[in-house]
Structure 1
Amino acid sequence: MKITNLHEIPEKSVSHNPDIKKKVMLQLGDLPNLTNFSQARFAPGQIARAHAHGDMCEVFFVESGSGTIQIDGTTYDLRAGACIAVEVGEVHEIANTGSAELVLTYFGLRVPTDSKAD
């Protein structure tokens, strides 16, 4: 068992943009296949640049604010209450296009990759 409190966790930088801050409530090793369970806060105009994960899928839930997520070249609106699942290998970029803070709660799940024996 592990209990955390969002209000007691120190902020860290998001790897795709160090100006965006997150709080990691659960991290790799806390539960099987979970890479993280976090909350990120994007100030207006902040962007987590396009990237993909070869061994992880991610799920984003929009707590508040507005923005966009681009997945494999298609742009989708982000609004409070939206839930977006990003599959392994999908290139995604998140931007706060609104005038208020964009708050996302998200988690990543490690997806085993098939490896061929030599």
Structure 2
Amino acid sequence: MRIDALRDLPVTPLGPGTAIEKCLLVGPGVVPHLQQFVRATFQPGQVAPVHAHADWTEVFYIESGAGTLTVEGTSHALRPGVTFRVDPGEHHEITSAPDSELVVVYVSVKA
């Protein structure tokens, strides 16, 4: 068993070259098939650029804020309480609204 508090976890960049911050709640190798369990904070107007994962399914939960999810060129509004799934190979991008911090909790699972 392991217990962690969000306030005690390090804050790191979501990815190379991005200022979006994340806390890795659970990393790879801890739970079978789970690649990561993350809480990411986007400042107003920040973008996680379009990308796809060949062998990951990702499930996202919008904790707070507003923004847009674009999957394969189709945009969807994000607001608190919304969940969505992105399947392997689907190109996706998340953008926070220009006037809103966006907090997203997500898991990445190996397909």
User: TM class, shorter-chain normalised?
Assistant: over 0.9
Identity of aligned residues (%): 39
* C-alpha distance in structure 2 between counterparts of 1:88 and 1:39, whole Å: 20
* C-alpha distance in structure 1 between counterparts of 2:76 and 2:16, whole Å: 19
Give the letter for the 2:4 counterpart: T
Q: TM-score, normalised by structure 1?
A: 0.90
* C-alpha distance in structure 1 between counterparts of 2:98 and 2:34, whole Å: 30
- Give the aligned partner of residue 83 of structure 1: 83
Structure 2: runs of 5 or more not aligned: none
Indicate yes or no: 2:25 matched with 1:25. Answer: yes
Give the letter for the 1:28 counterpart: P
* C-alpha distance in structure 2 between counterparts of 1:97 and 1:28, whole Å: 30
* C-alpha distance in structure 2 between counterparts of 1:2 and 1:90, whole Å: 33
RMSD: 1.1
Indicate yes or no: 2:9 matched with 1:9. Answer: yes
Structure 1: runs of 5 or more not aligned: 112-118
Give the letter for the 1:25 counterpart: L
Taking the TM superposition and a 5 Å limit, the aligned residue runs for 1:20-59 are 20-59=20-59
- Is the 1:16–1:48 Cα contact (8 Å) retained in structure 2? no
Give the letter for the 2:61 counterpart: F
Q: TM-score, normalised by structure 2?
A: 0.96
Q: For residue 16 of structure 1, report the CA deviation from its aligned partner.
A: 6.0
Structure 1 segments, 4+ long, off by >2 Å, are none
